[in-house]
Amino acid sequence: MHTLSEENYLKCIYRLWQDRGQKITPTAIAEWLGNNPASVVDMIRKLTDKQLIIYDKKKGVELTPQGQKDATLIVRRHRLWEVFLLEKLGYDWDEIHDIAEDLEHIKDGTLADRLDKFLGFPEYDPHGDPIPRANGKMAKRHSTTLADVKHGTLCRVAAVKDTTSAFLQYLQKLDINIGTKIQLIEKIQFDGSLVISIAGGERTTVSQKFGENILIDM
């Protein structure tokens, strides 16, 4: 079994891997985790020894099939606990991530599956991210962002990329949740700002960065 730290690295690598198709470097991992690159190099050696990753200076870090499997399970636990915290314990959107960050490391053979069943086999977590199934498969991730669509498009908030409470609280203030309908009225050439209408309401302007962190459906 893996240590808490190994699991956090695994999950980070998994995250970076499916985020973009980019090369996963020690520096990228270090930045994501807020650790020193030297520490990352140490851990890369450990995970390599455990055959969870392969590290090639050219290709960067890649998960082995076993590494993928293990990372997926951690993500599954994380997202299931998030659903539990929100739905059953009444936490807010922006509070659940940090607690799930710890709960995801509780290791028990049947815990995730029982929790899954208890929650009614949810497909998505409260941030709109798909929850890996017991068999490792999971629903498609949304990939189009609000910043990607043409002006005039009416879309539906499917997920959020950023899960910091700064962003989530801003969304709360704007009354945006998963499922909220947003119409893109205009893109400002100058800085990519977006003029939008939330749930048919009046016009609001948000930054490009904001738009890039909203994943949408149509």
Partner DNA sequence: ATATAAAATTAGTCAAGGCTAATTTTATAT
Partner DNA sequence: ATATAAAATTAGCCTTGACTAATTTTATAT
Residues that bind DNA (CB under 7 A): 3-6, 8, 25-28, 34-39, 41-44, 46, 55, 57, 60
Q: How far is the CB of 172 from DNA (least distance, A)?
A: 31
Does the protein bind its own copies through residue 114 (CB under 8 A)?
yes
- Size of the chain in residues: 218
Which of DNA, Mn ion, its own copies, none does 127 bind, CB closer than 5 to 8 A by kind?
Mn ion
Cα–Cα nearest to 125, from 166, 84, 91, 185 = 84
d(CA 170, CA 83): 21
Q: Closer to its own copies by CB, 2 or 187: give it.
A: 2
Q: How far is the CB of 114 from its own copies (least distance, A)?
A: 4
Packing angle, helices 26-33 and 37-49, rounded to 10: 110
d(CA 127, CA 153): 22
Does the protein bind its own copies through residue 23 (CB under 8 A)?
no
d(CA 177, CA 75): 22
Contact pick of 3, 22, 23, 89 for its own copies (by CB under 8 A): 89
Which residue minimizes CB distance to Mn ion?
Answer: 127
Q: Closer to its own copies by CB, 97 or 142: give it.
A: 97
**Binding span for its own copies by CB under 8 A among 8-16, 24-32, 38-46, 109-117:** 109-117
Residue 124's contacts (CB-CB under 8 Å, 6 or more residues apart) are 130, 131, 139, 159, 178
